[in-house]
Amino acid sequence: MIVKKNIAAIDLFCGIGGLSYGFKKAGIEIKAGIDIDKSCRYAFETNCKSKFINKDISEVKGEELKFLYDKNHIKILAGCAPCQPFSSYTYKDDKQKDHRWQLLYEFTRLIKEIKPVIVSMENVPTLLNFKKAPVFYDFINSLEKEGYFVWHRIVYAPDYGIPQKRKRLVLLASKLGNIELLPPTHSPDNYVTVKDAIGHLEKINSGECSKKDFIHKASNLSDKNLKRIKQSMPGGSWKKDWDDELKLACHILDKGKTYVSVYGRMKWNEPSPTMTTFCTGIGNGRFGHPEQDRAISLREAAILQSFPNDYKFVDKAENLKFGKTSKHIGNAVPPKLGEIIGKSIIKHMKEYHYGNKKE
């Protein structure tokens, strides 16, 4: 239910709708989502019940977005620019050669053209590194010059009921006054665990798909990888758990010895590792199911990202592209975090815009 009908948001870099779905659940109307990846259209429009615009942000003009808002709308402009340029995995690369490095500047341009009352941005914590990522501080400086009050902080996802050890940089900015994220809703005593989140799902084998839910599908393991996962203990490592003949050649190298979590199993009684675009493959991190001999399924990855159990990613099984869907899920803003951001915005609007509090 929309709490204040004149609050509306446009979601830049919307992907499959994680942020928008959370905003919508919080009570914020979603006018549109914009993304360069047209394969996100079905999931965004089906779950968020809003318009999907398949376009490169650098080609989007503020004027065309202004018309999506009603005249009396309190405008929110939100977005999570692709994080790969800022990721710790790619941080040593030459950022000037990656055009995605410039997307926050495009976000800044649209803010200046649209002049929203509220701005929301979510990204990876490494964006805070001043020497390597001055773009974030340029973004803040531009917001402040435009008259925004700016708040930002690294947020630990389990503190807000998300069953995943994800850390994200969240920024909120307002023309009205000081704004900040709501205080944590959870503590280590009651974090949502892997078992809380996915323990109810039907058992499946490697390479199998549930007959009840075609998104509950696991990647197929080779015979050797099946032996590896069978020897892996929850929270353990290949270094301690595996027979020598199962270890990879790269594990013997000094560099390989540091990647102890690959091919590992999650633990039932704690939040999962951070979901990535490759989170449905055991060779990419600690993405093994706690007790079943397989990697986590697409549905399990989605639920660990806090998507609801029935979130629709494609219309039918024959249209499911496993790798593409895994990428979509790993790239998404956790909907629960989107909901918290949305509720924080609504609380702020009640304080400053609706007369409950004077500036």
Determine phi and psi for 225, rounding to 5 degrees: -70, -30
CA–CA gap between residue 233 and residue 231 (Å, rounded): 7
Angstrom distance (rounded) from CA 164 to CA 182: 19
Instruction: Classify residue 160 as exposed, middle or buried by CB count within 10 Å of its CB (0-12, 13-18, 19+).
Output: buried
Nearest to 252 by CA among 261, 239, 240: 239
The span from the first CA to the last CA of the chain, in angstroms, equals 28
Q: For the chain, what percentages of helix, strand and coil (3-state, to nearest 5) are there?
A: 40, 15, 45
- Chain center to CA of 110: 22
Amino acid of residue 251: H
83 tagged catalytic:
yes
Active-site residue (options: 83, 209, 250, 279): 83
226-241: string of b/e by CB count within 10 Å (b at 16+)?
Answer: bbbbeebebebbbeeb
Kindly tell me the burial class for residue 272, based on how many C-beta atoms sit within 10 Å of its own C-beta (0-12, 13-18, 19 or more).
buried
To which H or E segment does residue 93 belong?
A: none
What is the per-residue burial (b if ≥16 Cβ within 10 Å, else e) of 124-145? bbbbbeeeebebbeebbebbee
Q: Looking at this protein, which amino acid is placed at residue 238?
A: W
From 153, 146, 152, select the one nearest 175 (Cα to Cα).
146
Rounded to an integer, what is the distance from CA 58 to the centroid of its chain? 22
Q: Where in the sequence numbering do the catalytic residues fall?
A: 83
